[in-house]
C-alpha cells in the first residue's frame, strides 16, 4: 500500500515554468503581467508566486520597511492578471520580476515550479498614471487628517535635529544659514511636493506633560530651536501637504509654512490646499492681548516645511539629552497603502 503511494508522489510531473513574461499597464500601484507555459500539468496549478524587487543601485533606498512583502501569492487566474494594491511603485525606477507556478497540497504546503527567468521593467516618469494628487484629492486627504488630529496643545518653538557635522557645515560653508533641500519621496505616492518642493524640515510636537519638545529624536543629537513667531506669523501662509502612516499606529501630517510671495508660496498656492493660520485642526497662530499664541494637534506627528533659508543666529543649537531613535526616521519611507485612515481612492 504505502510503497506505491510514495512512488506516486515521486512520479508527479513537475509544474510548468513560466516563460516569455510580459509586463504592461504600469501605474503607481498596479501592473499587468502575463506569460506562457507548457500545457503539461497546467491543470494542477492553483497559485502563482510573483516576486517583485526594486533594482538596487549603490545609492538607492531599499524598501525601508522590512515587513513590506515583496512576494505575492496569487490565486491562479486566467492571464493576463492585474497585480494591484500590493506595492506602490515609484516613478522612473527599475524593477525586476520573477514568477513560479504552485500547487497547494491538502496539508496546506505548496509544490512549486522552478523560478522563471528574471525580467526587468522600468516605470514611466511622466505617464499620466503617475500624476500627482490634485487639490481635490489633497482636500479629501486633509478632511481625513482632520478627523484624527485630536485636541490642540500649546507650543512655543519649532525645532530641527541634525548631526553636529550638519551645523558645523552650515557655519563654515553657508554663512550660518540653513539651506533648502528638496523634499524626499516619503509619504503619499501622489504627493505633489515630493521631489519638487524645496524647504527646511522642522518639528513642533511637544510632550503633553511638559509642553516642551521631546528629548529624543531620530535625526541627530543636536537641536536647533527657534521661537515659533519667527517662522509662523501673519507674514506667512500655511498649507496642507500630506497625511500618511508607515505601517505604524501613529500618523504624520506635513504642513508647509511659506513667507508670503516667496517662491515656495507661489509653488504651494497652485498645488496645495491653504489653511487659515488662525483656525485649523493642525497648527494655529492667534493673537491674544498683543501676544502670538501657538497650538498644535496632539494626535498626529506634524512635519513642518519652511520654504526660506533660516539663519542659525535666530535661534539656539544645543545637544539633546535623550536618545537617538533611529527607527522612527521617515526618510523616503513609503506610505502604508492598506491603511483605511489615511488613504483616499483616486479613480483611474
What is the 3-state composition of the chain as percent helix, strand, coil, each rounded to the nearest 5? 15, 35, 50
Q: Give 14-23 pLDDT, tens digit per residue.
A: 899 998 998 8
In this prediction, residue 68 carries a pLDDT of: 46
In this prediction, residue 330 carries a pLDDT of: 60
pLDDT confidence band for 133 (50 / 70 / 90): confident
Contact 253, 303 (CB under 8 A): yes
**Which residue, among 28, 90, 32, has the nearest Cα to 57 in the 3D structure?**
90
- Which of 144-153, 201-210, 254-263, 302-311 bottoms out in mean pLDDT, i.e. has the lowest? 201-210
C-alpha cell at 95: 524593477
Find the mean pLDDT for residues 206-225: 86
C-alpha cell at 117: 527567468
Q: How far is CA 5 from CA 1, 10, 11, 83, in A?
A: 7, 9, 10, 38
Q: In what order do the strands lie in the sheet with 81-84?
A: 19-24, 30-36, 81-84
For residue 150, pLDDT beyond 60 = yes
Find the mean pLDDT for residues 134-143: 89
- Which of 32-46, 121-135, 224-238, 319-333 bottoms out in mean pLDDT, i.e. has the lowest? 121-135
Find the mean pLDDT for residues 210-225: 87
In this prediction, residue 67 carries a pLDDT of: 42
As a whole number of angstroms, the longest Cα–Cα distance in the chain is 94
Ordered structural domains, the chain, with CATH: 19-123 (2.60.40.10), 135-319 (no CATH)
- Return d(Cα 221, Cα 215) in angstroms, integer: 10
Find the mean pLDDT for residues 186-207: 88
Does the pTM of the predicted model rise above 0.75? no
pLDDT confidence band for 342 (50 / 70 / 90): confident
Highest mean pLDDT: which range of 63-77, 81-95, 103-117, 185-199: 103-117
User: Rounded to the nearest 10 degrees, how much is the dihedral formed by the CA atoms of 126, 128, 134, 137?
Assistant: -130
Ordered DSSP codes for 157-198:
EEEEEE-HHHHHHHHHHSTTEEPPEE--S-B-TT-TTTTT-E
Mean pLDDT of the chain: 83
Find the mean pLDDT for residues 319-335: 67
pLDDT confidence band for 328 (50 / 70 / 90): low
pLDDT confidence band for 125 (50 / 70 / 90): low
Parallel, antiparallel or unpaired: strands 283-288 and 152-155: unpaired
Find the mean pLDDT for residues 278-300: 95
In this prediction, residue 63 carries a pLDDT of: 44
Amino acid at each position: 500500500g504505502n510503497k506505491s503511494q510514495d512512488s506516486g508522489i515521486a512520479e508527479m510531473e513537475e509544474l510548468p515554468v513560466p516563460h516569455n513574461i510580459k509586463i504592461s499597464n504600469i501605474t503607481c500601484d498596479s501592473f499587468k503581467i502575463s506569460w506562457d507555459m507548457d500545457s503539461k500539468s497546467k491543470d494542477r496549478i492553483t497559485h502563482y508566486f510573483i516576486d517583485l524587487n526594486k533594482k538596487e543601485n549603490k545609492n538607492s533606498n531599499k524598501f525601508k520597511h522590512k515587513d513590506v512583502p515583496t512576494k505575492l501569492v496569487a490565486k491562479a487566474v486566467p492571464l493576463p492578471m492585474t497585480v494591484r494594491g500590493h506595492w506602490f511603485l515609484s516613478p522612473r525606477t527599475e524593477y525586476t520580476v520573477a514568477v513560479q507556478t504552485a500547487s497547494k497540497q491538502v496539508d496546506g504546503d505548496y509544490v512549486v515550479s522552478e523560478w522563471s527567468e528574471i525580467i526587468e521593467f522600468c516605470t514611466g516618469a511622466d505617464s499620466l498614471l503617475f500624476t500627482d494628487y490634485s487639490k481635490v484629492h489633497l482636500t479629501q486627504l486633509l478632511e481625513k487628517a482632520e478627523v484624527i488630529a485630536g485636541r490642540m496643545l500649546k507650543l512655543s518653538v519649532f525645532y530641527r535635529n541634525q548631526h553636529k557635522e550638519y551645523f558645523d557645515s552650515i557655519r563654515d560653508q553657508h554663512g550660518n544659514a540653513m539651506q533648502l533641500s528638496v523634499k524626499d519621496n516619503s509619504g503619499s505616492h501622489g504627493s505633489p511636493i515630493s521631489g519638487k518642493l524645496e524647504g527646511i524640515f522642522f518639528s513642533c510636537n511637544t510632550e503633553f506633560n511638559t509642553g516642551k519638545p521631546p528629548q529624543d529624536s531620530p535625526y541627530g543629537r543636536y537641536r536647533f530651536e527657534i521661537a515659533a513667531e519667527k517662522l509662523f506669523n501673519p507674514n506667512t501662509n500655511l498649507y496642507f501637504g500630506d497625511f500618511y502612516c508607515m505601517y505604524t499606529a501613529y500618523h504624520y501630517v506635513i504642513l508647509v509654512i511659506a513667507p508670503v510671495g516667496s517662491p515656495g508660496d507661489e509653488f504651494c498656492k497652485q498645488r496645495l490646499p491653504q489653511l487659515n493660520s488662525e483656525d485649523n485642526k493642525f497648527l494655529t497662530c492667534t493673537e491674544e492681548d498683543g501676544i502670538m499664541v501657538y497650538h498644535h494637534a496632539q494626535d498626529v506627528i506634524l512635519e513642518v516645511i519652511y520654504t526660506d533659508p533660516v539663519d542659525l543666529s535666530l535661534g539656539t543649537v544645543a545637544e539633546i539629552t535623550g536618545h537617538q531613535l533611529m527607527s522612527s526616521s521617515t526618510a523616503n519611507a513609503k506610505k502604508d497603502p492598506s491603511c483605511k485612515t489615511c488613504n483616499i481612492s483616486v479613480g483611474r
